[in-house]
Amino acid sequence: MAWTCAILTACSNLVVVPSENYNSRVDYLVIHATSENFAESLRLLTQSTTNPVSSHYLVPAPFDPTYPHNELRIYQLVPELDRAWHAGVSYWAGETGLNDRSIGIEVVNEFKCTGAIRSIQNTAPADFECEFPVYDDDQIALLIDLISGILDRFPSIDPIDVVGHSDIAILRKSDPGPLFPWKQLYDEAGIGAWYEPDTKTKCEQRFSDEPPPMLTIQNGLNRLGYQVELSGSYDRSTRYAMRAMQLHFRPSDFSGAVDTESMAIIWALLDKYRPSELNGLELSRC
């Protein structure tokens, strides 16, 4: 009540009756990689620039000569209930402009790309690619502690809605990259989503015998969360969406090609986290 009194001239006239009809405004957690060292990341995320950006948290990397402390510490840059400018043009599971409803974490990782993601063509392999340094164990341990606290404070964030920047901006972004340990976060701390291996195996067997049509695959990607046009053909939108899914859930090969394993992962994730979305698809549960 103290915060309310601070903005009212006559706090004694305030009657507080808690309503049962409300929910958190935070439904998503987005993980980014900075592509810069700590000092430059902190400057870009906190100072005015021609392209202003921010995040709620910044997680430094060890052995960074620009980092001023001996031990890794989490930096909070924006209060969790305020709107940080981290997602940009974004889409996930039917929602756009995810800045309004998400918490953003920037992880220091000095990755470099040889070209823009928009250079990917429909059929030729991506020739630009990005080189991501391996994420340090101490950095990931700090990140796990941070995310665990956030998820405790915001139970409205579902596991499938813990995403990377590349998941929500498939035409623009590749971070946090193929070396980000999504499965480690899931295995060690129950953070985020991961498929059940047995379900994936069943789906692989089914799709090997009966590959779904492209429109069904596009529907699967879309219902999982990715922005994809339901064109019925393997187009630019489908390749970008498939590539984003692979970066997160099958980083050993993220060319964007449609293959049996990728289809099986999509269906295994839907079966576990969005089972109602399987209704109406030509192929339901495996």
Helix, strand, coil tally for the chain in percent (to 5): 40, 10, 50
Cα angle 113, 102, 156 (rounded to 5 degrees) comes to 135
Kindly compute the dihedral angle of the four CA atoms of residues 15, 20, 26, 28, in this order, to the nearest 10 degrees: 180
Reading the block at residue 24, the tokens are 């958190």
Length of the chain: 286
Find all residues with CB under 8 Å of 89, minimum gap 6, and list them: 97, 169, 172
Nearest residue to 135 (alpha-carbon basis) of 126, 143, 123, 147: 143
Active site residue 261: no
Q: Which of 56, 52, 132, 87 is nearest to 227 (CA)?
A: 87
CA–CA separation, 40 and 182 (whole Å):
26
Active-site option among 20, 106, 129, 277? 106
Sequence-ordered list of residues with C-beta below 8 angstroms from that of 196, at least 6 positions apart, any chain: 268, 271, 272
Catalytic residue numbers, as ranges: 106
